[in-house]
Structure 1
């Protein structure tokens, strides 16, 4: 009897052990799935593409689109905020998997990173205080124009300054750029049109479009040779076909000044 009891105890222990192992494996599997993280860097000073709300959360068109892409690919999105001029370096050192920051697909950048298909295109605008009467490129002669460091607007302003005789002043952050303008430390700023319109309306500024340049479109940037590019492009195609990208553009009012 005792022998049968011992056998039964051993059998039950074995069953419980198997159940525990199965549960452990299930937990490990779920944990692995939940730990599938997509690390994205941005520069949250580029409203409406990315900025911080009153609670400090990073929000914007790029953020909404990145979340849709992560959902399509089965990832949990993890966002890191940094200065725009440090984004390419973060990709090159593979500290992040991708960058969404209203980044344009310039030939110079293509030498250092890979890009997805373009998801948006807009032009450039000069902003100034209403009483400055800066209404054309010619009226910028002898003035100081602020730009955000590392952007295509910095490159474009440097080229335009050779012809129109103004000084270029780069700063780290688009918000600081506007403060430079409001404090009369620069005479004008040169920005992406969508971003500029937001500041123009909020601050009562004057703006005119740059008629001379045609910017490349915005896209998602990846480290060279990243396996994510094809998958992200497929996700973008799907989201575009379903009309979800259009919905986001309407939500964030991107198409009001977009060049399509």
Structure 2
């Protein structure tokens, strides 16, 4: 009888121990692992979002935004230049954890990438000199308008066929710096450009240029992650929301664009 009772007590004790072990393991499994490092994939030749300065250091609006978000997650951040044309393959091949470099949210991309909510709305803005008489898109009629060849501004203008047909000439440039120089010199009367690019350059020369209220359309930027990486997506979204709420995102935007353009 004593032997039987002893065996019963031992069996019950073992059961309690195993039960406690299971609960501990389950609790451990249920607790999400901390994000220790985030590898950001980017095009390192896209000022002001991400590019190399004169010291070959990676800088930019998205660089600063990503650093601030990673700090709030308590994670190290590594910036990895990639072939931007192969960005989805780099992400889904797990060579990078996120795509964060002026990534436009499109329905086609949503099929392969999960996005945060938009953090920036990029417009195709119209820049004129401060003394220009052009006040709206109608005022572009009969004028020489500049645009960077191969940029999304070209497609945006083409979509507004009526306005495009009213131009005297659509002059294409290899880069926006040269176009702005021609605008200042009077060889152009307006420049159509991505807002993130245009505001970056004109912020360097305050008072010299004006941005019209009307534009040639908008697109939204978001941070892209793998579709199955819901934990990282949630944490990044929370960090971005907090940065917008406490003014950190606005501060970073003003540093790069001279204005808060964060959505």
Superposed pair shares fold, TM > 0.5: yes
User: Which blocks of at least 5 consecutive residues in structure 1 are unaligned?
Assistant: 1-34
> Which residue does the alignment assign to 1:258?
261
Question: Residue 149 of structure 1: CA displacement?
Answer: 3.6
> Which residue does the alignment assign to 1:169?
172
Say whether the 8 Å CA contact 1:122–1:215 is kept in structure 2: yes
Work out the number of aligned pairs and report it.
Answer: 215
What TM-score does the superposition give when structure 2 sets the normalisation length?
Answer: 0.61
3-state DSSP class of the match of 2:248?
helix
Question: Residue 63 of structure 1: CA displacement?
Answer: 0.5
> Which residue does the alignment assign to 2:222?
219
What CA RMSD, in Å, does the superposition of the two structures yield over aligned residues?
3.8
Answer 1 or 2: which has greater strand percent: 2
User: Which blocks of at least 5 consecutive residues in structure 2 are unaligned?
Assistant: 1-35
> Which residue does the alignment assign to 1:233?
234
> Which residue does the alignment assign to 1:199?
201
What TM-score does the superposition give when structure 1 sets the normalisation length?
Answer: 0.62
In the alignment, the residues of structure 2 paired with residue 187 and residue 89 of structure 1 have an alpha-carbon distance, to the nearest angstrom, of 37
Question: Residue 125 of structure 1: CA displacement?
Answer: 1.9
Question: Residue 250 of structure 1: CA displacement?
Answer: 1.1
1:153-197 deviation line (CA, Å, top 9, x unaligned)? 3432221244332437375xxxx2122331468653323435423
1:13-46 deviation line (CA, Å, top 9, x unaligned)? xxxxxxxxxxxxxxxxxxxxxx966141135433
1:129-155 deviation line (CA, Å, top 9, x unaligned)? 55765443123335343147454x343
> Which residue does the alignment assign to 2:192?
190
Mapping of residues 1-260 of structure 1, within 5 Å? 38-47=39-48, 49-71=49-71, 72=73, 74-80=75-81, 87-92=84-89, 94=91, 96-110=96-110, 113-129=113-129, 133-141=133-141, 143-147=144-148, 149=150, 151=152, 153-165=153-165, 166=167, 167=170, 169=172, 171=174, 176-183=175-182, 187-203=189-205, 205-211=208-214, 215-222=218-225, 225-228=226-229, 230-241=231-242, 246-253=247-254, 256-258=259-261, 260=263
3-state DSSP class of the match of 1:249?
helix
